């Protein structure tokens, strides 16, 4: 299958890699670090490796909701969003190769956290904590994991490439500045 076609499956190698790296790293954290413990401090006080659990979503929002509501909002809704991304991925021819890889990263990260929500009733395993130096009133950024990083970086890439991509009908210029089409 041609890797430049919108329906290329090659980016889903990244999805699988993210899902595996996420689940392996979380399993190691659970096995090796007691819950609510800082195991490693690196780069002074900048980076901590910890074992934290999050029953909510980003920034622990919704952690006080009843378990059934958390299941619906934080598992079923993300699965629906992942399905939407996949439908878009396979039905559009308007994405760039970078955007396809970024969407695959979002799917991998989303699946990583959904796996935790379905199979870890104590919450999603988070383990990376970085110092935020009081910016936005936070001494430390909320603890995160591989899946969270993949979703955020994928979304930033999609946004950046969407903003930087030429719009429809924009003439393609050759190397001398003339219209190529």
- Residue 144 is classified by DSSP as B
Q: Kindly name the residue from 63, 116, 148, 174 that is annotated as catalytic.
A: 148
Per-position DSSP letters for 56-95, written without gaps between them: SSGGGTTTTS-HHHHHIIIIIHHHHHHHHHHHHHHH-S--
Q: In 10 A of CB 64, how many CB atoms? A: 9
Q: Kindly name the residue from 4, 22, 126, 176 that is annotated as catalytic.
A: 126
For 6, the token pair is 């919108």
Backbone angles phi, psi at 60, to 5 degrees: 65, 20
Residue whose C-alpha is closest to residue 104's, from 10, 1, 3:
10
Q: Tell me, yes or no, if 126 is annotated catalytic.
A: yes
Q: Tell me, yes or no, if 176 is annotated catalytic.
A: no
Residues 6-24 as b/e (b if ≥16 CB within 10 A, e otherwise) read bebeebbebbeebbebbbe
Give catalytic residue positions.
126, 148
């Amino acid at each position: 299958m041609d890797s430049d076609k919108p329906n290329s499956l090659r980016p889903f190698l990244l999805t699988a890699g993210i899902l595996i790296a996420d689940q392996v790293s979380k399993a190691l954290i659970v096995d090796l670090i007691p819950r609510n413990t800082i195991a490693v401090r690196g780069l002074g006080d900048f980076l901590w490796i910890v074992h934290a659990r999050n029953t909510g979503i980003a920034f622990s929002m919704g952690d006080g909701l009843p378990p059934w509501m958390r299941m619906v909002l934080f598992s079923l809704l993300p699965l629906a969003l992942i399905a939407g991304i996949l439908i878009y991925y396979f039905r559009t021819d308007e994405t760039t190769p970078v955007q396809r890889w970024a969407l695959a990263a979002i799917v991998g990260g989303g699946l990583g956290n959904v796996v935790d929500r379905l199979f870890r009733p104590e919450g999603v395993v988070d383990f990376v904590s970085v110092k935020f130096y009081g910016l936005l009133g936070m001494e430390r950024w909320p603890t995160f994991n591989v899946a969270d990083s993949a979703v955020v970086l994928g979304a930033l890439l999609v946004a950046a490439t969407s903003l930087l991509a030429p719009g429809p009908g924009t003439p393609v210029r050759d190397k001398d500045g003339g219209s190529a089409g």
